[in-house]
Amino acid sequence: MPLPKSYGVERGWSVQNKPLFEDTTPDPFAIPAVTEAGLNQPVTSAAVVVTGTNVPAPLKVTNALVSIDGGPFGAGPPVVQPGAQIRLQRQSSPAPSTPVTAVLEVGPVAAIWTITTAAEAAYTPSLDFSDPRNSQFAPVFNRNP
């Protein structure tokens, strides 16, 4: 039922739903750490979904690439929409048992993501008994004639 002109609704006007206040502060979030990562490999984080905002919020990523809603990894946009799904990607360390970090900031809320590489595998030397340098370690079998 159309409203009478006395309500201020005339032909050509539209009603827009706007929030009563703009909230760019998301609910707190965390990014699960990655352990036992391979050396010098790209690692992708679990997804973080932006909740608690009702307008686009400022986005800042340090030491990582970012993907929004399954898009390609890159520098990322300056703002992120409410409900957006964010993933980070970063190269792991080339050294064993070494952490590297990245920071995701949405509005005033931040989370640190840590990737730790696997420990160095224990070295188990193997001897090649066909190599004369290792002959002293070779088992000796005597044949009685």
Give me the DSSP letters along 36-105.
Answer: EEPTT-EEEPPPEE--S-SS-EEEEEESSEEEETT---BS--SEE-TT-EEEEEEEPPSSTT-EEEEEEE
In a domain, 89, yes or no: yes
What pLDDT, on a 0 to 100 scale, did the predictor assign at position 120?
Answer: 84
Count of the separate structural domains present in the chain: 1
In a domain, 108, yes or no: yes
In a domain, 99, yes or no: yes
What pLDDT, on a 0 to 100 scale, did the predictor assign at position 52?
Answer: 96
What pLDDT, on a 0 to 100 scale, did the predictor assign at position 121?
Answer: 72
What pLDDT, on a 0 to 100 scale, did the predictor assign at position 70?
Answer: 96
- Low pLDDT (below 50) residues in the chain: 9
What pLDDT, on a 0 to 100 scale, did the predictor assign at position 133?
Answer: 63
In a domain, 126, yes or no: no
What pLDDT, on a 0 to 100 scale, did the predictor assign at position 118?
Answer: 96
The pTM assigned to this predicted structure is 0.72
In a domain, 29, yes or no: yes
In a domain, 14, yes or no: no
